[in-house]
């Protein structure tokens, strides 16, 4: 899964990177992005009249809320969507067909099992995973509009989820799942709102190539969502007896 990541790249740099308009709502640097917070995502708005489609960065609630949901809290369970079951889940199939996005990150966190404690419970070490070349990680996502029983259409809440797939060999040493990462050559096909070919879209949802990522251990403080700051991504090697 992908349950925590880092978002600290300036919005104007992200806009240049994706060839998109910058977000109207600016978010603070966040070195411990957690579910239910607002995050940036890139989408392509359908063309109007003779104008071409417009690629834009917007803010989304992390945790997808289906249009049919009666309560917002259902999104708390939908921060990730498994690539293998997108077409069989009513919460995700409509979005796969019409509402896809890219979610940029400077890296993400995962917890690696490193043995057992005295009670035979797993010890876990937090790891920070990033691209070896320092470029942003670009994760495949889906988005939805949700009004609920009391919202007007122009007050709709936009929410999103990160698509995950089986881990590649490198990540499998840390976790059995990883976010789907799309190369620039795949962005047009993924974002195109007129592309509803779910078979071709599903073919993009594969593990990242080997050699793309590096990882290092980080401070266990990252486990508390209230902790933030650039120090969380610094390499850290705690004594074995303090791992959790």
pTM (whole model) above 0.75: yes
For the chain, domains (ranges, CATH) are 5-111+134-211 (3.90.1680.10)
Mean per-residue pLDDT, 177-198: 96
| pLDDT-based confidence at residue 237 (cuts at 50, 70, 90) | confident
| pLDDT-based confidence at residue 182 (cuts at 50, 70, 90) | very high
5, pLDDT greater than 70: yes
83-131 pLDDT, tens digit per residue, is 999 999 999 999 999 999 999 999 999 999 987 777 778 889 999 999 9
Catalytic residue among 44, 58, 110, 144: 110
3-state secondary structure string, the chain?
Answer: CCCCEEECCCHHHHHHHHCCECCCCCCCCEEEECCCCEEEEEEEECCCCCCCCEEEEEEEEECCCCCCCCCHHHHHHCCEEEHHHHHHCCCCHHHHHHCEEEEEECEEEEEEEEEECCCCCEEEEEEEEEECCCCCEEEEEEEEEECCCCCCHHHCEEEEEEEEEECCHHHHCCCCEEECECCHHHHHHHHCCCCCCHHHHHCCCCCCCCCCEEEEECCHHHHCCCCCCHHHHCCCCCCHHHCC
Tell me if residue 101 is catalytic.
no
Tell me if residue 110 is catalytic.
yes
| pLDDT value of position 170 | 98
């Amino acid at each position: 899964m992908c349950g925590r990541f880092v978002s600290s790249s300036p919005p104007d740099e992200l806009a240049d990177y994706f060839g998109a308009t910058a977000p109207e709502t600016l978010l603070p640097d966040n070195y411990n992005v957690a579910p239910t917070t607002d995050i940036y995502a890139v989408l392509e708005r359908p063309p109007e009249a003779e104008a071409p489609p417009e690629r834009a960065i917007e803010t989304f609630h992390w945790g997808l809320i289906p249009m049919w949901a009666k309560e917002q809290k259902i999104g708390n369970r939908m921060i990730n969507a498994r690539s293998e079951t997108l077409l069989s889940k009513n919460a995700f199939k409509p979005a796969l067909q019409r509402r896809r996005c890219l979610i940029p990150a400077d890296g993400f966190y995962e917890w690696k099992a490193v043995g057992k404690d005295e009670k035979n419970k797993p010890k876990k070490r937090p790891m920070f995973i990033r691209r070896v070349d320092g470029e942003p990680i670009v994760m495949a996502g889906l988005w939805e509009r949700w009004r609920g029983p009391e919202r007007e259409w122009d007050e709709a809440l936009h929410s999103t989820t990160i698509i995950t797939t089986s881990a590649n060999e490198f990540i499998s040493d840390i976790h059995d799942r990883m976010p789907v990462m799309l190369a620039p050559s795949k962005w047009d096909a993924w974002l195109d709102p007129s592309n509803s070919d779910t078979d071709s879209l599903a073919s993009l949802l594969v593990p990242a190539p080997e050699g793309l990522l590096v990882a290092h251990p980080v401070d266990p403080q990252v486990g508390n969502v209230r902790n933030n700051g650039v120090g969380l991504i610094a390499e850290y090697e705690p004594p074995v007896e303090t791992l959790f």
